[in-house]
Amino acid sequence: MEIRKLTCISCPMGCPLTVEMEGNEVISVTGNTCKRGDIYARKEVTNPTRIVTSTVKVIGGAADMVSVKTREDIPKDKIFDCVKSLKGVEVKAPVHIGDVILPNAGGTGIDIVATKNVEEV
């Protein structure tokens, strides 16, 4: 049996997690204080994922940039494909939270969406 120690990154509490594994199978997760910790631990030892956040340029808006994120978490090894796919992307104001900025970012199947409202000026 293999024991893996992790720090939960689901929220800033950063619970110290202990995962018991038998080969590729998770036997138990302890140290978490909520359900998310359990989910994170099981994912992290089998298929680690992250939400990626960045910004893109806005044309004709009240702000120069709009913040964006992957709508869901993406595989960790696709982070840089995702970041690269945002290079040179520009959007026209107005932009609202949840608007799709770039579909299927970096071939992950996950859309990039706006996380800020930028009104037209």
Partner 1 sequence: MKSYDIVIIGGGPAGLAAAVSAKRNGIDSILILERDKELGGILNQCIHNGFGLHTFKEELTGPEYAQRFIDQAKELEIEYKLNTMVMDISPRKIVTAMNRQEGLFEIEAKAVILAMGCRERSRGALNIPGYRPAGIFSAGTAQRLVNMEGLMPGREVVILGSGDIGLIMARRMTFEGAKVKVVAELMPYSGGLKRNIVQCLDDYGIPLKLSHTVVDIKGKERVEGVTLAEVDSKGKPIPGTEEFYTCDTLLLSVGLIPENEISNGMGVEMNPVTSGPKVNESLETSIEGVFACGNVLHVHDLVDFVSEEAATAGRNAAAYVKGERRSAQGHEIRFLPVDGVRYTVPVTLNTARMDENLTVRFRVGAVYKNCYVGVYFDNERVIHRKRQIVAPGEMEEIKLTKEQLLKYPDLETITVKIEEA
Answer left, alpha or beta for residue 33, where phi above 0 means left and psi between -120 and 50 means alpha.
Answer: alpha
Q: How far is the CB of 120 from partner 1 (least distance, A)?
A: 15
Q: Which residues of 24-62 are buried (b: 16+ CB within 10 A; e: fewer)?
A: eebeebebbeeeebbebbeebbeeebeebebbbebeebe
Task: Quickly count: other Cβ atoms within 10 Å of residue 95's Cβ.
Answer: 24
Using the minimum distance from each CB to partner 1, give the nearer residue, 12 or 23.
12
Query: Does position 59 bind partner 1 by CB under 8 A?
Result: no
Q: Which parts of 61-100 interact with partner 1 (CB under 8 A)?
A: 63-65, 67-69, 76, 79, 83, 97
Q: Which of 32, 49, 54, 108 binds partner 1 (CB under 8 A)?
A: 54
Q: Which of 14, 103, 107, 109 binds partner 1 (CB under 8 A)?
A: 14
**Eight-state DSSP code of residue 42:** H
The residues binding partner 1 (CB under 8 A) are: 6-14, 16, 31, 36, 50-55, 57, 63-65, 67-69, 76, 79, 83, 97, 115-117
